[in-house]
Structure 1
Amino acid sequence: MKLTVKGITDGQPVPETFAFGVYSEEDHMSFGPNRNPELEWSDAPEGTKSFVVIMFDPDVPSKADDVNQEGKVVPRDLPRVDFFHWLLVDVPPDMTRIPEGADSDGVIPKGKPPGSGPIGVRGVNTFTHFLAGNPDMAGTYGGYDGPCPPWNDELVHHYHYEVHALDVESLGLTGEFEGDAVREAMKDHVLASARVTGTYTLNPDLR
């Protein structure tokens, strides 16, 4: 399979158009345009019955104590975990393109609804947990929400955009399912996969 993410070159920075948070000289971070990028894929194998779209960041701090704290840094050698930014399952087999902005166009406080959306079925991204303690933002975040790494992180984050071709029409996931559930349900059903990786940072010393 071949995947193209329009505007993102493999290994190069993700444009701010696709980011949840953008650099601000005054207060470190402000909301970005938060548009999903255009994805287009080809050469799916014979027998493909649906697609899954996943976008995740494997570089998120495993401990959030020092995240976005004045006078502190998130050290490069801190153990990291996956943060899911985009989960779409049961994408029809005749669909090979998701237009820019089709699943997200702007930051939506308290999140977009999960479940059946404009493309397939939306899972719940990890902003649901990250923003749970913020009364103005807490909610269930479905679909795409873009990069917003800690502005004091010593590590540049990587963002993996993936499309997986499956041999089943549906993964049977309902309700507020998350990334680990998608990965578990996909096991033994993946016919082919493709990935494009971009980078992003809000740390002014790394930009």
Structure 2
Amino acid sequence: MHLTSESFAHRGRIPAEFAMGTPEGFGGNRNPHLAWSDAPADTQSFVLLCIDTDAPTDASTVGREDMEIPVEQPRADFVHWVMVDIPASVSSIAAGSCSEGVTAHGKRTPPGPPGARQGLNDYTGWFKGNADMAGDYAGYDGPYPPFNDLRTHRYFFRLFALRVPKLDLPAQFTAADVFHALQPHEITEAAIYGTYSLNPKVAAG
């Protein structure tokens, strides 16, 4: 199975139109185009995830003018998109078809392929306590790495082919729920990643 995008090159920079954050503030926050081929014949559904594997683990260092986040700081995953029950007949997602612009307090019912369900991304936790932004963030919300981070962030788009048409999940679910639910049903996986940074030193490097 192969996963590709017309929105960015594998290992290349993700354009700002697909990011939640830019140096000037909020970005276009459009979901990128994705397409896949050569799925196994017994595929009954797909799961799609987007995960930043380079999120800082020390929140006290994020967004500070007086310091930079060192490359060697331990990192963790930050989930940007969770979609399950994508019908086996679907082989692409158009750019901007699932997200267009930033929605304060989160998208309630994000658009997507008919029959698909979308879970909560990690902006749900990140914006908790922020009166202007707090809420349940479902669907795609793009990159917004700290401007003071010296590490280029990688955003992995992971597509799983499953042997079942639907996963057993609660009404609200996270990537952790999905990973647990898909394990017995996974046939294969395809992945690509793009990069993004708001640090001028990194972006110019």
Q: TM-score, normalised to structure 1's length?
A: 0.94
CA distance in 2, matches of 1:39, 1:50: 16
Equivalent positions of 1:175-194 (< 5 A) are: 175-194=171-190
1:121-148 deviation line (CA, Å, top 9, x unaligned): 0000000011112110000000000000
CA distance in 1, matches of 2:178, 2:128: 22
Equivalent positions of 1:163-202 (< 5 A) are: 163-202=159-198
Q: For residue 100 of structure 1, report the CA deviation from its aligned partner.
A: 0.9
Q: In the alignment, which residue of structure 2 is the partner of 1:156?
A: 152
Q: What is the one-letter code of the residue matched to 1:195?
A: A
Q: For residue 43 of structure 1, report the CA deviation from its aligned partner.
A: 0.6
Structure 1 segments (4+ residues) deviating >3 Å: none
Q: What is the one-letter code of the residue matched to 2:29?
A: N
CA distance in 2, matches of 1:117, 1:107: 14
Q: In the alignment, which residue of structure 2 is the partner of 1:140?
A: 136
Q: Tell me, what secondary structure is at the counterpart of 2:181?
A: helix
- Alignment pair present for 1:63 and 2:74: no
CA distance in 2, matches of 1:83, 1:163: 17
Q: In the alignment, which residue of structure 2 is the partner of 1:4?
A: 4
CA distance in 1, matches of 2:157, 2:15: 14
Residue in structure 1 matching 2:32, options 26, 32, 37: 37
CA distance in 1, matches of 2:111, 2:88: 16
Task: Give the length in aligned residue pairs.
Answer: 201
1:6-47 deviation line (CA, Å, top 9, x unaligned): 1211111101110000113xxxxx000000011111110011
Q: For residue 205 of structure 1, report the CA deviation from its aligned partner.
A: 1.1
Q: In the alignment, which residue of structure 2 is the partner of 1:106?
A: 101
Range moving further from structure 2, 182-191 or 13-22: 182-191
What is the RMSD computed on CA atoms of the aligned residues?
1.2
Q: Which protein is richer in helix relative to its size?
A: 2
- Alignment pair present for 1:118 and 2:92: no
CA distance in 1, matches of 2:28, 2:111: 20
On the 8 A contact 2:99/2:111 being kept in 1, the answer is: no
Q: For residue 67 of structure 1, report the CA deviation from its aligned partner.
A: 0.2
Which sections of structure 1, spanning at least 5 residues, go unmatched?
A: 25-29
Q: For residue 174 of structure 1, report the CA deviation from its aligned partner.
A: 2.2
Residue in structure 2 matching 1:97, options 92, 95, 98: 92
